[in-house]
């Protein structure tokens, strides 16, 4: 099993009529994101930053997108993508499964 430590798994997820490749987050990445979630608070700006951070960590190539470019995406699409990222990583979205 030790030879699998650090191995990155990905899954293709539908996004805006196309597909993006999403990395399954490691335990360490999820713990880091939990710290970001705590800092985000409930204001819109904090929530938007959190959404961006989740997507930048998990979606292949998203780290190259600027803050200004992120603002060009529909919020509903970004939210759905973030939810799918969490699902792929084993968090949330498991009710009824």
- Provide CB contacts within 8 A for 68, sequence distance 6+: none
**pLDDT tens sequence across 9-48:** 899 999 999 999 999 988 888 888 888 777 777 778 878 8
Enumerate the domain spans of the chain: 16-88
**pLDDT tens sequence across 41-67:** 777 887 888 889 889 999 999 999 998
pLDDT of residue 84: 93
pLDDT at 83 over 80: yes
pLDDT of residue 26: 87
- Going by C-alpha positions, the residue among 74, 77, 80, 56 that lies closest to residue 66 is 56
């Amino acid at each position: 099993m030790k030879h699998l430590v650090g191995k990155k798994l990905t899954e293709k997820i539908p996004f805006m009529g196309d597909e993006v490749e999403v990395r399954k987050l490691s335990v360490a990445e999820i713990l880091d994101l939990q710290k970001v979630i705590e800092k985000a608070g409930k204001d819109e700006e904090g929530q938007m930053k959190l959404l961006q951070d989740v997507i930048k960590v998990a979606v292949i190539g998203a780290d190259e997108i600027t803050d200004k470019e992120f603002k060009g995406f529909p919020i509903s699409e970004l939210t759905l993508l973030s939810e799918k990222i969490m699902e792929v990583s084993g968090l949330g979205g498991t009710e009824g499964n």
